[in-house]
Amino acid sequence: MTSTRDHGYARYKLDGCRCYTCGWAVAQYRDAREHAIRRGEWQPYVDAAPVREHLERLRACSLGLRRVAEIVHVDRKRLQVILNGRPERGTELQEQVRPALAAAVLRVEPTLDNLGSATPISSVGTHRRLTALVAAGWPQAHLAKRLGMSDGNFSSLLGRSQVIVRTARLVRSVYDELWLSDPREHGVGTQPFSRARNHGASHQWAPPGAWDEDTIDDPAAFPDWTGRCGTPGGCHIHSRIGVPACQPCRIARQKARAAARDTTA
Ligand SMILES: [Zn+2]
Ligand SMILES: [Zn+2]
């Protein structure tokens, strides 16, 4: 299962694509949207066009009018009018909208909580959470059971680049419940515990402590094994704690060495 979305806002948000086209689309759009929200702070009415554009973007993320109306607590018809005009009065579009409604709609993001449960999204955060739990000593069979999955489905989940929102939410809630707990105090035997940890270590799966809850779903984020990953000092800590140096640490060391060569040359 790979994404069929075009590069741009929806692909950035849902598939985690970080290519130039997607990054540019999101950065430009963020500026325009903040501008539109600010304009509303000192005007009784604002242009409806940015709101319409945002509704269209949300729709491209499979976030329809009904759901947006629920999130911002307005009648769906009020959004319908912004999007499609009033057919009974000709097809002219609504040109202006109250700033509070504009800001509320413009602030809706296609997040895990907002999206429809069957929407396919990137599996990055789901994989990170599951592999982190295994690295912390939770056996895959135990996790599969908690997720209501067979061992086979659990394994194939780890191999997929996309998951549906329902699965991602379920994994997130299991992760939130377990990541601070000791598996051995929750019915996991000492041997399965050690086997899971060894399995995680052999795959270099980052444990929960290496992830930040705010960025674990961001494809650009990397696990911080040492507390200083991505800085020149990271590699020393890696060798001290016996974890192979991660990519950001290796790059930081290369850069530091190159800088040192330049100053001594
Ligand atoms: Zn892209
Ligand atoms: Zn590192």
Region 35-61 average pLDDT: 88
* Structure confidence by residue, pLDDT tens digits, 197-216: 999 999 999 999 999 999 99
Q: Is residue 165 part of a domain?
A: yes
pLDDT value for 94: 74
The Å distance, Cα 1 to ligand 1 centre, comes to 17
- Asked if the model's pLDDT at residue 265 lies above 70, the reply is no
| Residue 37: both structure tokens together | 């929200």
* Structure confidence by residue, pLDDT tens digits, 77-127: 999 988 887 766 665 677 888 899 999 999 999 999 999 999 999 999 999
The Å distance, Cα 75 to ligand 2 centre, comes to 50
> Of 214, 230, 259, which residue sits at a domain end?
214
Q: How confident is the model at residue 221 (pLDDT cuts 50, 70, 90)?
A: very high
Could you tell me if 65 and 134 lie in one domain? no
Could you tell me if 168 and 95 lie in one domain? no
pLDDT value for 159: 93
Phi, psi of 115 (to 5 degrees): -70, 155
The Å distance, Cα 120 to ligand 1 centre, comes to 16
Ligand closest to CA 14: 1
**CATH number reported for the structural domain that contains residue 28 in this entry:** 1.10.260
Could you tell me if 32 and 96 lie in one domain? yes
pLDDT value for 239: 93
Could you tell me if 208 and 145 lie in one domain? yes
The Å distance, Cα 158 to ligand 1 centre, comes to 22
| Residue 218: both structure tokens together | 């961001």
The Å distance, Cα 130 to ligand 2 centre, comes to 20
Q: Is residue 48 part of a domain?
A: yes
Tokens 């135990």 belong to 142
pLDDT value for 176: 96
Q: Is residue 92 part of a domain?
A: yes
Q: Is residue 77 part of a domain?
A: yes
Ligand closest to CA 228: 2
Could you tell me if 101 and 13 lie in one domain? yes
pLDDT value for 92: 67
For residues 35 and 37, what is the distance between their CA atoms, to the nearest angstrom? 5
pLDDT value for 34: 87
The Å distance, Cα 7 to ligand 1 centre, comes to 4
pLDDT value for 171: 98
Q: Is residue 192 part of a domain?
A: yes
Tokens 């269209």 belong to 56
Give the range of the structural domain holding residue 84, as residue numbers without chain letter: 9-106
In this structure, how many other beta carbons lie within 10 angstroms of the beta carbon of residue 100? 12
Could you tell me if 143 and 80 lie in one domain? no
- Asked if the model's pLDDT at residue 5 lies above 70, the reply is yes
Name residues with Cβ closer than 5 Å to ligand 2, which is an ion.
225, 229, 234, 246, 249
Ligand closest to CA 25: 1
Q: Is residue 259 part of a domain?
A: no
pLDDT value for 2: 66
Q: Report the helix count and the strand count for the chain, using DSSP H and E.
A: 13, 4
How many domains does the chain fold into?
A: 2
Region 250-262 average pLDDT: 91
The Å distance, Cα 107 to ligand 1 centre, comes to 22
- Asked if the model's pLDDT at residue 264 lies above 80, the reply is no
Q: Is residue 229 part of a domain?
A: no
> Of 214, 236, 254, which residue sits at a domain end?
214
Could you tell me if 28 and 80 lie in one domain? yes
Could you tell me if 69 and 158 lie in one domain? no
pLDDT value for 42: 76
The rounded mean pLDDT for the chain is 91
